[in-house]
Amino acid sequence: MNGKQRMVEQSKQWLCDALINLMTKENFQDISITEIAQTAELSRKTFYHSFKNKEAVINYLCDQLFDQYFEQLLQQKPQVGEMMLKTTFDIFLNFWWQKRDLIQLLIRQGLFDHMNEIWQQKAIPRYQRFAAPWHVQGTLTQVNYVMAFQLGGLTNILRVWLGQDNPEPPEQIRDVMLLAIRQLADSLHTD
């Protein structure tokens, strides 16, 4: 990345940080482009060179979050059985626990569902890069349904868990999730 590209990325980050800062004080819908640019100490022209509108800033923020999360997920070593699931849950819960202030802000601002839509779009092309024993091999349509099922459960856990004023520690949520999956698996094996 050359100097100009680094400056463009830095400007995007400053604008993103400015929007987050403003959202802690006022409603997303009421925030203007001018306010974002001024808070970032950049011009409106710089804003429009970086983003089409303020929704694009949210998209950029969500892209960054999911890229960071996915990189952590890819560093996971393949494991056998429940250990793989436990480790995956630990990565998931600990990553989002560290981002809980931001997630809580997105929930309060009514932007959490938008984040989920972006996550679904980004997850499908990456599905095969993360080798998990619970992944289904199938058509793109089948994978889309499986991802919607899996991500729907995970993102709803985030909404309920981090939407609270005093969320439980990640380990406690992981143990509840594992218990639910064990019970589901056991219920499939009854005669």
CATH of the domain at 28: 1.10.10.60
Burial status of residue 159 (CB atoms within 10 A of its CB: 0-12, 13-18, 19 or more): middle
28 and 111 belong to one structural domain:
no
Check which CATH number belongs to the domain holding 96 and give it: 1.10.357
Residue 191 resides in a domain: no
1, pLDDT greater than 70: no
27 and 84 belong to one structural domain:
no
25 and 77 belong to one structural domain:
no
102 and 181 belong to one structural domain:
yes
CB under 8 Å to 53, separation ≥6 — which residues?
33
Which of 29-33, 95-99, 178-182 has the least mean pLDDT?
178-182
143 and 74 belong to one structural domain:
yes
Confidence of residue 125 (pLDDT cuts 50, 70, 90): confident
110 and 66 belong to one structural domain:
yes
81 and 154 belong to one structural domain:
yes
Which of 30-39, 78-87, 132-141 has the least mean pLDDT?
132-141
Residue 123 resides in a domain: yes
Cα dist. 149→19, 143, 153 in Å? 31, 10, 6
Residue 36 resides in a domain: yes
Give the model's pLDDT for residue 185. 86
Q: Cα 19 from chain centroid? A: 17
28 and 114 belong to one structural domain:
no
83 and 151 belong to one structural domain:
yes
Q: What is the pLDDT of residues 157-175, one digit of tens each?
A: 999 999 999 999 999 999 9
User: Number of structural domains, the chain?
Assistant: 2
Give the model's pLDDT for residue 140. 81
The residue-averaged pLDDT of 59-64 equals 94
Q: What is the pLDDT of residues 46-60, one digit of tens each?
A: 999 999 999 999 999
CA distance 24 to 102: 10
State which residues form the domain around 68.
58-186
